């Protein structure tokens, strides 16, 4: 009987060991394992395709050229309950905010200008910048910059400033976290400006983007509230205030942006979902920095 019990015990141990050592196929999906590119692990199964270029960093920036604006793509429109009025001419624009990116879910689909979206091209989407136009996007964390061509509308989440192609986000090193803080600055590609940029080598189009005598202020009607913390004639002064606010616990859940309009560099925080939140933030900024603040619903 003792030998029989010992035999049963040994047999049980062997069976348990065998069950724990069953080999799986190399492509078997194991819960918690890192997803391969294009095999999930991204928002709504977005991400890079299986045929991604070997050297994405080698993809060149968008080539600057003079292009006509598309009237149909720059009309006022409503998205997710918000009304947007895009620029219809070039105007200086420089602002910080959160950038997101879109990949294979939209690869091959049409953009707002009617072109096919290529996730491996240097392009982007913006709610109010002219279509098409060009911007310089900088990641302030690592100093990396890219030039992208704006050819689509979006993003329409209140906490997003720009949507980038997969390639652009990769070169800025934003892929891992899905989004990140960037600075977006418009580039004047009128014939006059292009002569200064590229030594007179301009790629002409049928029409050109006209540069206004004074920069136009974009109008965005929404439920979002912003706190203006300062307005300066010189950009250096606005940079100092922006950095001071970012170094204090004053803007933990909102972006600290910089907008140029009316010949002034305006430092703004937002958007806030309610007037009450904006008022609280404005009072806190006044108390800590001893400066005047303005709450704006736009």
- Terminal alpha carbon distance of the chain: 86
Q: CB neighbours of 248 closer than 8 A, spacing ≥ 6?
A: 288
Determine the pLDDT at residue 40. 34
Residue 279 has what pLDDT?
85
Ordered mean pLDDT values, 10 residues apiece, the chain (298 residues): 46 38 28 30 52 86 94 90 88 91 72 89 94 96 95 87 93 87 94 74 41 42 73 87 83 76 80 83 87 82
Do the Cβ atoms of 181 and 160 come closer than 8 Å? no
Q: What pLDDT digit, counting tens, does each position of 79-106 carry?
A: 888 888 999 988 889 999 999 988 766 6
Domains assigned to the chain: 43-198 (2.40.40.10), 223-296 (3.30.70.1070)
Res 46: pLDDT:
57
Give the pTM: 0.55
Phi-psi sector, 241: left (phi>0), alpha (psi -120 to 50), beta: alpha
Nearest to 289 by CA among 253, 257, 247: 247
pLDDT score recorded for residue 62: 96
Sequence-distant (6+) residues with CB within 8 A of 288 are 248, 250
Neighbours of 218 (CB within 10 A): 17
The answer for residues whose C-beta is within 8 angstroms of residue 64's C-beta and 6 or more apart is 134, 147, 187, 189, 194, 197, 198
Write phi, then psi, for 203 (nearest 5 degrees). Answer: -95, 100
Query: What is the structure's pLDDT at 16?
Result: 37
Return d(Cα 245, Cα 285) in angstroms, integer. Answer: 8
């Amino acid at each position: 009987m003792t030998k029989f019990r010992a035999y049963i015990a040994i047999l049980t141990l062997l069976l348990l060991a065998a069950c724990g050592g069953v080999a799986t196929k190399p492509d078997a999906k194991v819960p918690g394992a890192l997803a391969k590119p294009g095999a999930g692990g991204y928002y709504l199964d977005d991400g890079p395709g299986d045929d991604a270029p070997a050297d994405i960093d080698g993809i060149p920036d968008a080539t600057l050229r003079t292009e006509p604006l598309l009237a149909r793509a720059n009309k006022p429109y409503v998205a997710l309950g918000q009304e947007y009025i895009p620029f219809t001419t070039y105007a200086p624009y420089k602002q910080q905010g959160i950038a997101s990116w879109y990949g294979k879910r939209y690869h091959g689909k049409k953009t707002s200008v009617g072109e096919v979206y290529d996730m491996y091209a240097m392009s982007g989407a913006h709610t109010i910048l002219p279509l098409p136009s060009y911007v310089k996007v900088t990641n302030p964390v690592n100093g990396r910059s890219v030039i992208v061509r704006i050819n689509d509308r979006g993003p329409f989440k209140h906490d997003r400033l720009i949507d980038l192609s997969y390639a652009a986000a990769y070169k800025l090193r934003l892929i891992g976290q899905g989004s990140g803080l960037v600075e977006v600055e418009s580039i004047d590609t009128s014939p006059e400006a292009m002569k200064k940029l590229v030594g007179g080598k301009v790629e002409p189009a049928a029409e050109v983007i006209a540069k206004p005598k004074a920069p136009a202020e974009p109008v965005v009607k929404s439920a979002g509230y912003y706190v203006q913390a300062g307005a300066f004639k010189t950009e250096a002064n606005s940079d100092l205030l922006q950095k001071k606010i970012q170094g204090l616990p004053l803007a933990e859940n909102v972006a600290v942006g910089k907008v140029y309009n009316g010949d002034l560099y305006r430092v703004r925080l937002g958007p806030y979902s309610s007037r009450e939140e904006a008022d609280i933030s404005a009072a806190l900024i006044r108390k800590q920095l001893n400066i005047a603040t303005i709450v704006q619903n736009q």
